[in-house]
């Protein structure tokens, strides 16, 4: 009886069998959690000082920006500082997903070349790490807003769908940019300028209500503009968000996720060759 013959076909872009792929991904959920924890420990977030810096970094940054706003515009009210801090915290959730996802595939080169697993686990782990970093800052902000005397209401539960949309958007961005970085390595060097541009173009240093209607219409092209505005309305003013803001953020999030996932899954089998 002759030995079986293995035939290696050239790479063709296309989606894998999604049912089997999702089952394989779900079976490795414990690995995603442990891999994320190990990455956090490597970044010294397992220590007391690492956790402290995780909170102090955005707080100090918000303090510097608030001082700048006070010097330039003369605004020094507690509401403005609460808006700045809350928006920065949610912005860091999205930007940390981007910065962690951009090199998630290229940094996992040895793992990819030696182990068979759904590669999308790596950018998902980047989102999990960003979420782990976000949760302590959320707890700190709830204490801070009490000290600032900001109002509380049941409308603040709208924060749950806002965070869910932000997570979906962060996941889509992490998946998309991790795949792009495989083919265009310079995107990692360009990313800090992209996140800084998003910071200045989003309602963080200012409030969305301060913009003219013409400028607000242009901000439709900014995926996180109206999402951050909804977040500020919920967490700072304890009001229900504008449904247009939620719909805008969700549409952007689902589009980025679907495009990024399709691009990633259709090119996943080519990663080993590109790395």
Taking only the tens place, the pLDDT of each residue in 220-252 is 999 999 999 999 999 999 999 999 999 999 999
Give how far the C-alpha of residue 136 lies from the chain's centroid of Cα atoms, to the nearest Å.
16
Residue 56: which of 128, 156, 126, 144 has the closest Cα?
144
Q: How far apart are CA 219 and CA 197, in angstroms?
A: 13
- Judged by average pLDDT, the poorest of 11-25, 92-106, 194-208 is 11-25
Three-state secondary structure call for residue 42: helix
Counting beta carbons within 10 angstroms of the beta carbon of residue 146, is it exposed (0 to 12), middle (13 to 18) or buried (19 or more)?
exposed
* Res 111: pLDDT: 77
Q: Label residue 80 by pLDDT band (50, 70, 90).
A: confident
More confident residue, 47 or 62: 62
Residue 47 is classified by DSSP as S
246-266 pLDDT tens trace: 999 999 999 999 999 999 998
State mean pLDDT over 138-145: 84
Distance of CA 131 to the CA centre of its chain: 8
52 contacts: CB under 8 Å, gap ≥ 6: none
Give the pLDDT confidence of 7-57 residue by residue, as tens digits.
445 445 567 788 888 888 888 888 888 888 887 777 666 666 666 777 777
Question: Residue 6: its pLDDT value, please?
Answer: 44
pLDDT recorded at residue 204: 86
Average pLDDT, the chain: 83
| Contact call for residues 13 and 267 (beta carbons, < 8 A) | yes
Residue 28: alpha-carbon gap to chain centroid: 22
**CA dist., res. 222 & res. 220, Å (int):** 5
pTM of the predicted structure, to 2 decimals:
0.86
- Which of 65, 255, 101 lies closest to 165 in space, CA to CA? 255
Which residue, among 161, 87, 172, has the nearest Cα to 127 in the 3D structure?
A: 172
pLDDT at 4: 54
């Amino acid at each position: 009886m002759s030995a079986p013959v293995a035939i290696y076909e050239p790479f063709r872009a296309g989606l894998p069998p999604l049912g089997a792929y999702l089952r394989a991904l779900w079976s490795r959920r414990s690995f995603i959690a442990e891999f994320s924890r190990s990455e956090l420990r490597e970044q010294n977030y397992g220590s007391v000082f690492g956790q402290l810096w995780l909170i102090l970094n955005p707080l100090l940054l918000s303090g510097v920006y608030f001082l700048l706003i006070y010097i330039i515009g003369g605004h020094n009210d507690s509401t403005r500082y609460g808006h700045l801090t809350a928006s920065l915290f949610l912005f860091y959730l999205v930007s940390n997903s981007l910065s962690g996802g951009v090199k998630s595939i290229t940094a996992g080169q040895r793992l990819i070349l030696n182990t068979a697993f759904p590669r999308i686990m790596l950018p998902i782990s980047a989102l999990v790490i960003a979420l782990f970093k976000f949760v302590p800052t959320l707890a700190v902000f709830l204490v801070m807003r009490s000290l600032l005397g900001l109002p509380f209401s049941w409308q603040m539960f709208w924060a749950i769908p806002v965070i869910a949309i932000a997570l979906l958007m962060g996941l889509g961005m992490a998946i998309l940019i991790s795949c792009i970085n495989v083919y265009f390595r310079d995107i990692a060097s360009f990313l800090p300028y992209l996140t800084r541009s998003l910071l200045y173009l989003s309602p963080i240093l200012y409030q969305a209500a301060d913009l003219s209607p013409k400028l607000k219409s242009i901000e439709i092209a900014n995926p996180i503009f109206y999402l951050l505005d909804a977040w500020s309305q919920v967490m700072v003013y304890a009001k229900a968000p504008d449904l247009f803001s939620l719909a805008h953020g969700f549409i952007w999030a689902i589009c980025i996720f679907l495009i990024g996932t399709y691009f990633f899954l259709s090119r996943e089998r080519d990663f080993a060759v590109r790395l």
